[in-house]
Amino acid sequence: MIYDKKGRIICIIVSFALLLSACNNMSSSNIKYDVNDSMMYTDGTITYADNIIVRRPEADEYYTFLLTPQKADSSDTLELFDKLFNKYCKDKYDSSEINDKKRFISPDVEPNKNESYPNCFPKVSDHLKELLENKIWANEIYIDDEKVYLSVMNGNLHALNKGGTYSYLIEKGLIEKSGKRIGMFFPDIYCEVKKNYFTTSDDKVDFSDEKITISQAQKKTIEYITELVGEHEIKPCISQTTIMDMKGRTIATLYITGMYKGVPFDANEMKKIGAMGTNGYSNNKEYYNLPECAIMDSSDNFDIITGYSHNYKIRDEKKVNLKIGLKEATRIVDKTFSVNLKLIIKRIELVYCRQILTDEKDGEIIYDCYPVWKLSGKTNNSNNDLCIYVNALNGECYYYENQ
């Protein structure tokens, strides 16, 4: 996530014929599913893929609520940075290097216009007392060089890249060793996607050191993130697992969204890390559904993790009853889309959407969260994935194309 100077976010399987699993326990996020094909509308022209995945969390209760990103104190941002640096990066540096490398971005301290990034921003060591006493505000604290990239932004982990996949691609001659910074480097442009998973699986991932299952990789990811940022009301949840071949080496990218009281937030199906192409939502509203990611380059090592945010305030929470069930949601979709489109649904989920709003009082960005049915599929006249939503409270139907 990217924040402005005020700390606001500014940019944001089983055969259908055989019934779906009556209780598919997704161990990586403790979500249980209880859906069968009789709960879907089958009298219209909508078509369901043979290997359709239907996921409905067995939550006891559902809610509407507002989610507000919180502005963290500089001392909290520094505390998390130092915790992560000491655990994952400190052994890469001599003690004499650290003060020069650790820098911060602040609206209260002007950058050095005679220097280029990353050295144009002030050193933490030169303003340590002011940062600890919160007399100046640090939007971001970072180290970015040829060894690691670690960034903590507004009290949240923005990115951690240990440089393993980066070094591997240098050894293979695909990246020139120039001594430059790693930054927001991702290896996926050098990789071939082997398979995507949207549930748990006993399929094995053949890492260079050991084979582990998809489910084990997902569980390790949840444990790793929790270790990084601690326990919070919004918990990490795996939305997608992508197995890739990186020039002879297997890596796994696990996409991460949040989960509130057993119900995950909507997350876009990812084809490339950090990139999401849409032509906008059909209802002309804005939503946030870009997941973060963690990249495993061995059975027990996470080389890269990006932007898992936990620093939110939940307010105006109200318990609600789902007025639109799965059968009614699929009926609405069937009646909304033309029969000429030949809509084929491959995945159905019940999630919380995050509609982006602006608080009228202070101009801060907030998320209006409520339960929706999400149907993912294709039509006969487009190669793009189609994501269709039905508001589970009022039946509003809208969609976008995932290009």
Write the pLDDT tens digit of every residue in 234-264: 999 999 999 999 999 999 999 999 999 999 9
What pLDDT does 403 receive? Answer: 65
Between the two ends of the chain, the Cα-to-Cα distance in Å is: 21
The residues with which 179 forms a beta bridge, in sequence order, are: none
Average pLDDT along the chain:
84
pLDDT bracket for residue 38 (50, 70, 90): low
- Give SS3 for 104: strand
Residue 120 tokens, joined: 């144009």
Q: For residues 14 and 347, what is the distance between their CA atoms, to the nearest angstrom?
A: 11
User: Given its phi and psi angles, is residue 231 left (phi above 0), alpha (psi -120 to 50 degrees) or beta?
Assistant: beta
- pLDDT tens per residue across span 7-35: 333 333 333 333 233 333 333 344 444 44
More confident residue, 166 or 34: 166
Pairing state between β 365-378 and 211-213: unpaired
Per-residue pLDDT, averaged over 52-63, amounts to 88
Residue 336 DSSP class = H
- Residue count (the chain): 403
CB atoms within 10 A of CB 313: 11
More confident residue, 45 or 73: 73
Non-local CB neighbours of 250 within 8 Å, separated by 6+ positions? 194, 205, 206, 207, 208, 243, 244
SS3 percent helix, strand, coil of the chain, rounded to 5, is 20, 35, 45
Per-residue pLDDT, averaged over 63-85, amounts to 93
CB atoms within 10 A of CB 359: 12
Its pTM stands at 0.85
Per-residue pLDDT, averaged over 49-57, amounts to 87
Asked if 267 contacts 239 with a C-beta cutoff of 8 angstroms, the reply is yes
* C-alpha triplet 57, 388, 197: angle, nearest 5°: 55
Is the pLDDT assigned to residue 290 strictly greater than 90?
no
